[in-house]
Amino acid sequence: MTDLLVVGSVNLDEIYPVPELPIRGETVLSASSRSRHSGGKGGNQAVAAATRTGVAFVGAVGDDDIGEFLRTDLAAAGVDTTYLVVKPAASGTAVVIVEQGSGDNSIVVDQGANLLLDTADIPPGPLAAARVVLLQLEIPLKTARAVAERAAGLVVLNPAPMVDGVVELLDRVDVLVPNEFELRSLLRRDALIGPDEAAAAVREAPGRGDVVATFGGAGAYVYERERDRVTHIAPPTVPVLDTTGAGDCLCGVLAAELAAGADLVAAAETAVCVASLSTTRSGARWTRAVDDAELDKLRSAARRTVIPR
Question: Residue 193 class from Cβ within 10 Å (0-12 exposed, 13-18 middle, 19+ buried)?
Answer: exposed
Question: Residue 217 class from Cβ within 10 Å (0-12 exposed, 13-18 middle, 19+ buried)?
Answer: middle
CB 307 within 8 A of CB 196: yes
In this structure, what are the phi and psi dihedrals at residue 284, rounded to the nearest 5 degrees? -90, -10
Angstrom distance (rounded) from CA 208 to CA 153: 15
| Positions marked catalytic | 248
Angstrom distance (rounded) from CA 248 to CA 253: 9
Bridge partners of residue 87, in order along the sequence: 62
